[in-house]
Structure 1
Amino acid sequence: MVGETHMVTATIRDAAGAPQSGITVTFEVISGPNIGATGLDITDGSGEATFSYAGNGGVGTDNIQACFTIADEAICSNVVAKEWTEEAITLNPLFAVNRLDLEEIWHTVTATVRDLKGNSIEGIEVTFSIRMGPNSDEPDAADTTDSNGEATFTYEGDGGPGTDVIRACFTNAAGNEVCTDYGETFDNDAFKQWQDGDDPVCPSVKPNPAELPTAVVGLFYSVQFTGFGGSEPYTFEVTNGDLPSDFNLTSDGLLTGTPVPGDANFEFNFTITATDSNGCPGSRDYRLIVCPGIILGPITNNLPDGFLGQFYSTTITASEEDAIFELSGDLPPGLSGSSGSYVISGTPTQVGSWTFTITASTPLGCTDSRDYTIRIRGVTPIPTLSEWGMIFMAMALLMISVIVIRRKQTANNRQRDN
């Protein structure tokens, strides 16, 4: 699994098959999500050297090779593959109805944890929670997956009619929380409808997406809303608050418009209500930020070159005065960045090329990013005063030699003429 540690062993033997000890072996991941991972080990009495590394690079297949040097000749092994996968969790049933009037008061939901190839994973602790609904005050419960990768949650529906939304989460091998869904989005959570009598209970209808992307002045904006939890088709309307100027929401959920300069650096708060084909409504509150359009400068990706041991300074600016700068990546050794306008300065201590990202953001959340590259060159020696004197003397002697030669040539020519 991604986040776990993998170990590979290299064995060195001579032509007769005898193990060779005391040999330094270099291991390297030559391709895959963890490319560049390396390690050194010395063979033991069995001729074996080992290499361990954490697979934090994501899903995919690493190719690993081991090499050692003898008599200035590199000898490398065959390439072995290590596949990295991740865990995923699903719930069953995703939708169910119980009749409270028929004393159907218990509900069980099953979470299944598998890797991306569908293999069940045993021994995973799964936490269940009721995110919303008449039984949302039910305490969270935990269960551990069995040999089928399954964990269960059973609770009593004593909160009355309505629809519960049930979520399941666990911590994966990389230490990250994995859930059926996140935040205020419930697409992959389980829905449990508690019904009293023959009249159906409206499900927990919600419009999606859960959050809106920022808008930029002068750029056309478009977001398509969809409904979830009820029966299609859905209709949509703004039931509270105001949209930005020149924005419009159609009944089928298409929000469009082009922000005007007067709306820049402003936050619009409004409520969208989705209604399913049975007349069941559901709402979500939204925040839409209109950004003026931050521009980072310089607009070129290549910043001025620096020279080893010589003071360097260059400035990154943003079109918004209150922008805050953030660095992602590494500056050349010896250089650092300041606050305010981002001044990169210092005395470089290493030759090479460094690429990094600068992000400018305003207090409202408007951002812009640009990748920059700084190349540090070796210094061309500058002559000292005494060296300049030697250079000028050499140039003077050269000029005198040219003049003498020309005079000799002129005198010889005159003698020939006579």
Structure 2
Amino acid sequence: MTDIGALVASWMDRHHDEVIGWRRHLHSHPELSHLEYNTTEYLAGVLTEHGMTPTLFPGTGLMVDIGPSEGERLAFRADIDALPLTETTGLDYSSTVPGVAHSCGHDIHTVIALALACALNSIDLPLGIRVIFQPAEEVMTGGATDVIQFGGLEGVHAIYALHVEPKLKVGRVGVRAGAITSASDVIEVRVRGEGGHTSRPHLAKDVVYALGKLVTELPALLSRRVDPRTGTVLVFGTINAGFASNAIPESGIVSGTLRTADIGTWRSMRPLISELVAQVLAPTGVEHELIYNPGVPPVLNDDVATALLASAARDLDPQSVVQAPQSSGGEDFSWYLEHVPGSMARLGCWSGQGPRQDLHQSDLNVDERCIGVGVKLFGSLVQQYSSKSEAFLHP
């Protein structure tokens, strides 16, 4: 049997400089969510140059199918959008776009998927592969739903993704069965009441006091109404009301994020939050409006898919696999896992020297050696599925 993993690794070693060039081009030309037009054109050009025929999504993003057209496919997803941040790394290939940067590592995810597609297209594959270059991961509710609506999961048996992790050293792969990220919703509460002078609060409806009760009591009440094992947490990030120290304003607003690692809890949150907000504010006499913006469900990694991913990593390096912590961050890869099994892994990208950085920071500097690790990991995973294709693709 053809050793697909070895062939992908060999391709990556031979094309290393070319792949790094792709990455640096993408890094220096970032584009925001739903605006990835040049990125889409660039990716389509590379895929076409390497003998593939990509399918463009409406707007931005694309996918490409490789290997046999019959039977179910194994899919890989990369996100292609950047963040509204100003890069401060000082790299020679820093962002050339003011106020936009790949400070979440999506350029790394993209080039890993691009190199994987090119490598696999040079191999006689026993199973079909789909590589998805998804736009708009960084905005709610994410571009994944658009890809699914377009048919990106049609014929797909399982789907995988990687996310760079600057807390892990290059060569390490973090895996976790079950929830690896959290659901992330945004809530906003607007309050209104009769304003007045601070010397006569009994003649007004004190919206500042009402907001104060809300930001302290609502999270506390949640901790008594929701199982603490679900990792449910509400944190407010903004509160605004009034302009003068001696005047009670007529309106105010507070907003924050609600996160949980439990899919059942996530689905029950909206009515519970509505109930608790009304109860907290009732004694104050203010009127209120709750604006609940659901985001994404938690990424729930499938047990079998995660085991195969860990096995693929150990085939490359028996010491590579570590247990990934459960993150409170949101990730729209979760929408794919609502339809098909799959798994997302954490890809170590810390050089091993200097302080460990964090995602969504303007000085994030990813060690490019992780690209080869990611490509070879996915190549090894294709080998895992190829050798088990009858059992896993046709259970």
* Rg (Cα) greater in structure: 1
TM over 0.5: no
Q: TM-score range by the shorter chain?
A: under 0.3
| TM-score normalised by the chain length of structure 2 | 0.25
Question: 1 or 2, which has the higher strand percentage?
Answer: 1
